[in-house]
Structure 1
Amino acid sequence: MKPTKLGSSFSFIASALAIDDLARCRGAEVITRDIAIIGGGAAGTYAAINLKDRGKSVVVVERRGSLGGHTSTYHDPTTGTPINYGVQLHHEDSITRDFYARLNVTAGPGSFPEVKTPLYIDFTDGSPILDYSIPQPSEKYFQALHKYPYLENGIELPDPVPEELLLTWPEYMEKFNLTNDAIATYSRPATPGDLTKYLALYVFNYLNTVLLEEQVEGKIIVNANGDLSELYRNALAELGSDVLLNSVVVSGQRGRKPTDGVKLCVTTPKGGKWIIAKQLVFTAPAVLKNLEPFSLDEREVNIISEFEGGFYYTGIVTNFGLPTNYSYTNRGQNTEYHIATVPGVVMFNPTNVEGTYYYWYNSFSDMTREQVETDTRNTIKLLQRTVTGADVSAEPKFPAFKSHTPLHPITSADAIRRGIYREVYSLQGYRNTWYTGSLLVPGSSQLWNNTNQLLPRIIAASEQ
């Protein structure tokens, strides 16, 4: 990654665009709230419900047609069975249980997704990977992880940053004799891009104690009826008109003092609207493209422009044509540690509906739904020709799809060495704006926990 210092030239361009955008809100309805929340995913929904419970008025701006972010649920049209094809589970802790209870969702025990008998196959040629299995991380990995407690629930780094954390993961494993954990660590879920290029810092931040408690100890809860999206539907029903779906901020003004507040021009299906709020909570991925409409100053641009998110997609496939007593996972036949080739399908996992699978797809660049599904279909047709018992005449169908791009924004070793994460934390509250998305932690339960810790500061700022 080569960050670009955009500075004042960016501000000039953004200001010019803002003039055109403001025309969309001329004479528009004005919505006045204590807190404006951008993004209705895990963090945004949690913030909205809990701020409202604490007596604050809120409005949520969500660009999609539903709340939930990375949580995606498809309902089988014949049986009505819910099939989650994004987030699969939540960590069992008091924050998660309380949030379930608050939204009248019955928590039940969960487990890592059922994979039936796994088949490991090179999806580029259909050849099986023999004598291969995925072990749990070793005690040596846990010992290494616990050396860096500041990566468990954020990225609050010491100064100077330990240089070993800025090694790539292969370099770190080699230096600290952790190569026996290569397969376990390269198999961590929902990690976009080239796994061999990840810094050790991000491996420990992602494959942290929370995820390991889920994976190894089974500290998992799910909706007892299997529908993880019900949490967000219930939240939407309660928040009602305080949520603007299919809506985007096209221009924003943010003051430097708490009394200045924020003013946002938002396009909605019902036309432009003004939002005037005391504080802004930004929960969408904190990358430059998402923050462009908010009139960033030079300081903000020079921090946010250091980060880029990955390209990741999920979907549902029916009429699969492959034996349904297996899961199918992509692994490289001739790559080190059998790491899968990118771009490509990560895996096909079975669901509670016979013959219906969900899949995840990893890429190096942005792709359209048509591109992802075309490549996924080609992969399935290849597997139909190479897996015993497959039906080569079956034509796959794709009833559901979601882009999770940009996923888990990260930055370079040089930027981390220079103190970029200290600068990120210093942005909390700056220009009446707070950040609670996946810039610092990866999972829904950790997002809820981090948001919960930040709420008192947001409330205090709104009362100045």
Structure 2
Amino acid sequence: MSPMLCSSFVFAILAFARSLSAEVITRDVAIIGGGATGTYAAISLKDQGKSIVIVERKGVLGGHTATYHDPATGTPINYGLQVYYDDDQSRAFFARLNITPGQGTFPNNKTPLYIDFNDGAPILGYSVPTIGDDYIRELHKYPYIENGIELPDPVPEDLLLSWEKYLEKFNLSDEAIATYSRPAVAGDLTKMLALYVFNNLNTVQLEEELNGKAIANANGDFAELYRNALKELGSDVLLNSTVVSGERGSKPSEGVKLCVKTPEGEKQIVAKQLIFAAPPVLDNLDVLGLDKRESDLFSKFSGGFYYTGVVTNLGLPTDHSYVNRAQHTPWHVATLPGTVMFNPTSVEGTYYYWYTSLEGMSQQQVESSTRDTLKLLQRSVNGSNINAEPNFVAYNSHTPLHPTADADSIRAGVYRDYYGIQGYRNTWYTGSLLVTGSPQLWNITSQLLPKIIAASEQ
């Protein structure tokens, strides 16, 4: 172990591990990131007799799951993840963590008002077309991007067209143009590669949205799944903690060593294998001491700036949802950066909002921009209270959400290289690089776990 780790720790730490047991954590598998995949991996490995530790930078598990509890009523308000796909994977994980499933439904919108959030002008006569057969037909041409991104070589050039160009080339109808109305997509939809549109809006997502094949916690509290996981995992989860440096051996016998900053001070993790369940972009990975192969690969992925929150006292009539649509862009695609929509919740007067951008933003910047939008809407929507001051009560950054690569990198095999790097330097990657829905992430993770277990036993 190099002296770089935890600065004051040197080789002697292992020899004196017994006396320094509070500072050294020895496990079969270390997991960076306690979102959907990190939590699933931890519970699954524990069930198979493996010791684990999770390092999570936030104060809760759950990642893109974001739940606010209304202080007056205790009502849970989910302002990130909205439903789970109803399949065996979801139901088994629910049962494992004592969650009672119920029918999953997207929040019931009140009558939507479509407004240009740049100037407050209503988009008259606008209605959202339903995604239909022409889109589904095109999607089914590429089954290898439905549950991951396992591309053929060469990659079909049609997938590397912008979505705007793809629609034009295949003369697709309003049923495919409806994809422009999807709110939970980071970035500029007109410039997104067709590959990512199909990967994001895959058969699983369509069945959730169009056919109601979705479940949720029966009590409506999505955070319950992760609270139960945290209760079971206990001290094997380091919350509000970050890896500050790391070493990873080239052989399984050399394992992984991490220095972690926690609220209780620095801790040393010594593990046989590492699961990286946070977004694999350079800003997150640099602390691990990447070599050229790794840095060349992960430098290709970027983007996915997405933020969500809960706001009260909007000053707007509470019998509507408010949706951002631009007046003067093709298909009324909203301009960026900006708030995607304000959606009402079961607590009267409390709304959740989603916000997307083309670059990283702080909480203060997101909430300030969202406040400006609300003040604009107060002046333009009949029946508003222009003196109301919005109250921001919850916030979550989902950045980077589904990082992407450019067309040249995809042609050159960036996804082939991603699959090929699994297990390299005792490190495994899982998370929203390949898919976004939690059940699909759990499925991908479950396929990796036998390999990770085998490597930990070498």
Relative to the length of structure 1, the TM-score reads 0.94
Would the aligned equivalents of 1:24 and 1:267 in 2 still touch at CA under 8 Å? no
Give the aligned partner of residue 224 of structure 1: 218
Give the aligned partner of residue 178 of structure 2: 184
Would the aligned equivalents of 1:62 and 1:246 in 2 still touch at CA under 8 Å? yes
SS of aligned partner of 2:7 = helix
Q: Which amino acid aligns with 2:6?
A: L
Q: Which amino acid aligns with 2:365?
A: Q
Distance 1:25 1:233, change over 3 A: farther
Give the aligned partner of residue 169 of structure 1: 163
SS of aligned partner of 1:251 = strand
Give the aligned partner of residue 362 of structure 1: 356
**Which is further off, 209-218 or 443-452?**
443-452
Residues 204-223 of structure 1 aligned to structure 2 (within 5 Å):
204-223=198-217
Distance 1:25 1:173, change over 3 A: farther
Unaligned segments of structure 1, at least 5 residues: 1-14
Deviations for 1:397-417, whole angstroms, at most 9, x for unmatched residues? 001111111111100000000
Would the aligned equivalents of 1:25 and 1:272 in 2 still touch at CA under 8 Å? no
* CA deviation after TM superposition for structure 1 residue 189, in Å: 3.4
* CA deviation after TM superposition for structure 1 residue 201, in Å: 0.4
Give the aligned partner of residue 426 of structure 1: 420
Select 1:277's aligned residue among 271, 275, 278: 271
Deviations for 1:339-363, whole angstroms, at most 9, x for unmatched residues? 0010110000000100000000111
Counterparts of 2:32 and 2:184 in 1: how far apart (Å)?
Answer: 23
Q: Which amino acid aligns with 1:447?
A: L
Would the aligned equivalents of 2:342 and 2:351 in 1 still touch at CA under 8 Å? yes
* CA deviation after TM superposition for structure 1 residue 21, in Å: 5.8
Give the aligned partner of residue 17 of structure 2: none
Counterparts of 2:9 and 2:419 in 1: how far apart (Å)?
Answer: 33
Q: Which amino acid aligns with 1:232?
A: Y
2:238 is the alignment partner of 1:254:
no
2:383 is the alignment partner of 1:389:
yes
2:96 is the alignment partner of 1:98:
no
* CA deviation after TM superposition for structure 1 residue 116, in Å: 1.4
2:249 is the alignment partner of 1:265:
no
Q: Which amino acid aligns with 1:90?
A: Y
Would the aligned equivalents of 1:38 and 1:61 in 2 still touch at CA under 8 Å? yes
Deviations for 1:270-321, whole angstroms, at most 9, x for unmatched residues? 1111111111000100000100011111101100000003211110100111
Give the aligned partner of residue 144 of structure 2: 150
Distance 1:128 1:427, change over 3 A: same
Deviations for 1:380-432, whole angstroms, at most 9, x for unmatched residues? 11111111111112111001111111111100000000111000000111111
Would the aligned equivalents of 2:243 and 2:258 in 1 still touch at CA under 8 Å? yes
Deviations for 1:142-194, whole angstroms, at most 9, x for unmatched residues? 11100100000000000000010000001111111114235411122321111
Give the aligned partner of residue 107 of structure 2: 113
Would the aligned equivalents of 2:101 and 2:218 in 1 still touch at CA under 8 Å? yes
Unaligned segments of structure 2, at least 5 residues: 14-19
* CA deviation after TM superposition for structure 1 residue 133, in Å: 1.4
Distance 1:384 1:279, change over 3 A: same
**Which is further off, 174-183 or 214-223?**
174-183
SS of aligned partner of 1:273 = strand
Question: Over the residues paired in the alignment, what is the CA RMSD in angstroms?
Answer: 1.4
* CA deviation after TM superposition for structure 1 residue 22, in Å: 2.7
* CA deviation after TM superposition for structure 1 residue 453, in Å: 1.3
Counterparts of 1:24 and 1:394 in 2: how far apart (Å)?
Answer: 54
Select 2:299's aligned residue among 305, 308, 313: 305
2:128 is the alignment partner of 1:134:
yes
Give the aligned partner of residue 23 of structure 1: 7
SS of aligned partner of 1:23 = coil
2:436 is the alignment partner of 1:452:
no
Give the aligned partner of residue 65 of structure 1: 59
* CA deviation after TM superposition for structure 1 residue 454, in Å: 1.1
* Equivalenced residues, count: 448
Q: Which amino acid aligns with 2:443?
A: N
Give the aligned partner of residue 440 of structure 1: 434
Q: Which amino acid aligns with 2:169?
A: K
Select 1:87's aligned residue among 81, 89, 95: 81
Counterparts of 1:408 and 1:24 in 2: how far apart (Å)?
Answer: 37
**Which is further off, 250-259 or 298-307?**
250-259
Counterparts of 1:21 and 1:380 in 2: how far apart (Å)?
Answer: 48
* CA deviation after TM superposition for structure 1 residue 25, in Å: 4.8
Counterparts of 1:85 and 1:138 in 2: how far apart (Å)?
Answer: 27
Give the aligned partner of residue 344 of structure 2: 350
* CA deviation after TM superposition for structure 1 residue 461, in Å: 1.1
SS of aligned partner of 2:435 = coil
Would the aligned equivalents of 1:24 and 1:272 in 2 still touch at CA under 8 Å? no
Q: Which amino acid aligns with 2:298?
A: I
* CA deviation after TM superposition for structure 1 residue 24, in Å: 5.6
